[in-house]
Amino acid sequence: MAEIIQNHPELSKKTAGLQAQGKKVVLADGCFDLLTVGHVRFLRAAKALGDVLVLALNDDASVKRVRGAGRPLLPLEDRLGVLCAFEMIDFLTVLPGDSAESLLQALKPDLYARRPPAQLPAPGAFGGKVVNVPEGSDHTAEKLIAEILRKYGTVKKVRS
């Protein structure tokens, strides 16, 4: 079960300690507001790149800016609650802005895993390597939402 650490200096101390033990730390980030098989494939591939996977979730305001009105579908606390059960994630944290640059500077991970097409930081900007992880890129939340709307149209009433 992943440990949720929202305090970035505390998380940085933990990951630095693991790196001092020779562990390779991988950082991944994203919205993860409607989980798909693509997310699972991406997270498994990101974890396979190193020993420790840190996943930074965009906060709700950031998801709304990045994905548009009506998003996130699940609020941050729910996304944290679901993702902490994923065995491949070691640490979960929150990304308060639209960019991971400050977190990259704080954590200094060995690798920064991104799904293409992603805007990437300048090479070496944080001391580590940026890796494009294409696994799962063909299964996105946007495609799933579009398919649901195509099949079911506007949902008038939700059954419980």
CB-facing half-sphere around the CA of 123: CA atoms within 13 A: 2
Q: If you ran DSSP here, which 8-state letter would residue 47 be given?
A: H
Predicted TM-score (pTM) of the model is 0.86
* Beta-bridge mates of residue 52: 25
What is the pLDDT averaged over residues 109-137? Answer: 76
Mind listing the pLDDT tens digit for each residue in 29-69? 999 988 888 899 999 999 999 999 999 999 999 999 988 88
Q: What domains appear along the chain, each with residue ranges and CATH number?
A: 3-152 (3.40.50.620)
Q: How many CB atoms lie within 10 A of CB 79?
A: 24
CB-facing half-sphere around the CA of 81: CA atoms within 13 A: 5
What contacts 51, CB < 8 A, 6 or more positions away?
18, 23, 24, 25
